[in-house]
Amino acid sequence: MTTRPEVWGSRGAVSSTHWLASSAGAAMYDQGGTAADAAVAAGLVLQVVEPHLNGLGGDVTILVRDADTGQTTAVCGQGPMPATATIEHYQGLGLDSVPGSGLLAATVPGAFGAWMRLLAEHGRLPLRTVMEPAIHYAETGVPLLPKAAEMIAAVRPVFTGHWHESARVFLDRDGAAPRAGQRWANPDLAATYRRLLAEGEARGKSREGVVEAASDAFYRGFVAEVVDGYVTRRAELDATGEAHAGLLTGQDLARWYPEAEATVSLAFGDRVVHKAGPWSQGPVFLQQLALLADLDPRTEFLGPDHVHRVTEVAKLAFADREAWYGDPRFAEDVTAALLDPDYTRARARLLGDTASLDLRPGAVAGRPARLPDLPLVELAATEPPWLVQLREGVPVTVQMALTATQTSGDTCCTTAVDARGTLVAATPSGGWLKSSPVLPGLGFPLGTRGQMAWLDAGHPNALAGGKRPRTTLSPTIVERDGRGELAFGTPGGDQQDQWTLHAFLAHTVFGLGLQESVDAPAFHTDHVPTSFAPRRAAPGTVTVEAGVGQRTVDALEARGHTVKVVADRTLGKVCFAATDEPGSCRAAASPKGNQAYAIAR
């Protein structure tokens, strides 16, 4: 038996990392909405109910397959670095990397603009209808998730001593942190939503015009004005333990627009898999598939050969990510070469029967790979919990930050499908409460995605003004027989394209149902340095859920892997939306974390 049913409907389905977001998204179908309407409603609610994992000041990567046009596109909600950002500026502050928290890591907040573009081009419902659930929950409150309560408590000294606007939003009048399950509201965020909506309705002359005017109010209106008057003029405590002002200005917001661009795709059997380009880590999913094209379905699922092969493939693909990926506007795009069959065959020859302990990116067109100079850092258990949180660039619990060899972070995900067969997969993140102070009067902090750029001028992911730092956000859409079939994603930082790969293989190669696939034990390797500060790597490691079984663990250790066994249902929160034919809408949600939910209409 599965932990939950695979849900089915005829109007539409939504699967996301919080039940209230899924419910808000599914309600859009009752009013004639599309998968885009559902995804945007869910995405905005996620900003309210998971403030420790994403926010209005964060970023998002969205894939959408329009059933009418048959086109699959990526909507880029990853904003660039400020125009004035230079490697020399950060080095002049005595830094060898961008801090994982504070104003120096802020990029243009791309999430709202990307959601609005998706809504304008693929939605049907008025902006008011789509925003109403998020406004309602921000005003009336939601039960605070346990991890959110734990994180607020951990950084409370930062809020009370330094980030006073964050204290006003997230602490009570006596300065106490809220308890898990306590009803928590964010009236400032609700007011920001309401003003964006009001300005959109006042200036827009059509549904699309209202949406575009609301986006304009964010990027060229009152939100940009607050950013302009605060970020460069106020020094705030950050991961260095010192206070620094940032570089982001209102002009940076004003010159940015969310772009819709072609996806990168790869045929896998009778399917075509779509990912965002190398400004994300998306192509690693395709590189892994290319190396696994001959995976035999008769191989024992989660047996030693299966886990070993997939782990070694991940090491090769992610090593290429470290060497070659970056914003194609600033660095050469070598994705086609990395997916070339001849290159794949050469890489496959490196796969052996024992665990590799080396980081082995490949040469492209005769050019050697260039790995960045890695400033790997470990945290001392004697440091205060609040400083541990500031130095951790991704949301983790304090104990995980002090003891884990791998990043145990999280983010959010929403997927949707409608009766026409349009599919949306989105991974919103950033702008979380523990990494940057709340903007005055707006109820949300900025993101810190700049930490992913390298202070290494010759690297494809080198920091530069106006350049997108390579993001980990990586949703997926799959076509079959010329029609959309699957939309999926997961939280998990660097592990996203490992955990979703396992669920995809479980379904497409090993024949498990959607819910069975997300229920199945997961595993990943931390062999490659993390994208978040402080950079960590654990060469030769593989982390497995206990359900993989002791026989597989013993066999992996005999092959040279360092195996870490963790509790079942702790790795990933994969969300699936699917369609077999028009009017057939299915969804499944991982039970891991006890909050992802799938709902169908």
What was the pLDDT predicted at 401? 46
HSE (side-chain half, CA atoms, 13 Å) at 225: 5
Give the C-alpha separation, 321 to 260, whole Å: 22
CA distance 106 to 58: 9
Residue with tokens 């950084």: 155
User: What CA–CA distance (Å, rounded) separates 504 from 517?
Assistant: 7
At residue 403, the pLDDT reads: 46
**At residue 417, what are phi and psi to the nearest 5 degrees?**
-145, 145
442-468 confidence digits (pLDDT tens): 999 999 999 999 999 999 999 999 999
Is there a cis peptide before residue 437, judged by omega within 30 degrees of 0? no
312 touches 355 (CB < 8 A): yes
Cβ(58)–Cβ(431) below 8 Å: yes
- pLDDT of amino acid 5: 94
Structural tokens at position 476:
């997926």
User: What average pLDDT does this structure show over 141-153?
Assistant: 95
Backbone angles phi, psi at 262, to 5 degrees: -65, 145
Q: Which two tokens stand for residue 416?
A: 């949707």
**Rounded CA separation 129/33 (Å):** 10
Q: Is residue 355 pLDDT above 80, yes or no?
A: yes
pTM of the model: 0.97
Q: State pLDDT tens for residues 473-507.
A: 999 999 999 999 999 999 999 999 999 999 999 99
User: How much helix, strand and coil, in percent to the nearest 5, is found in the chain?
Assistant: 35, 15, 45
pLDDT at 477: 98
Query: Three-state SS for 264?
Result: strand
Give the model's confidence band at 572: pLDDT under 50 very low, under 70 low, under 90 confident, else very high. very high
pLDDT of res. 579: 97
**122-138 pLDDT, tens digit each:** 999 999 999 999 999 99
By percentage, how much of the chain surpasses pLDDT 70? 96
The predicted model gives 215-227 an average pLDDT of 98
Q: What is the pLDDT of residues 154-197, one digit of tens each?
A: 999 999 999 999 999 999 999 999 999 999 999 999 999 999 99
Q: How far apart are CA 195 and CA 225, in angstroms?
A: 14
Predicted pLDDT of residue 350: 98
3-state secondary structure 535-564: CCCCCCEEEEEHHHCHHHHHHHHHCCCEEE
In the predicted model, what is the mean pLDDT of the chain?
95
* Phi-psi group of 354: left, alpha or beta (phi > 0 → left; psi -120 to 50 → alpha; rest → beta): beta
Amino acid at 338: L
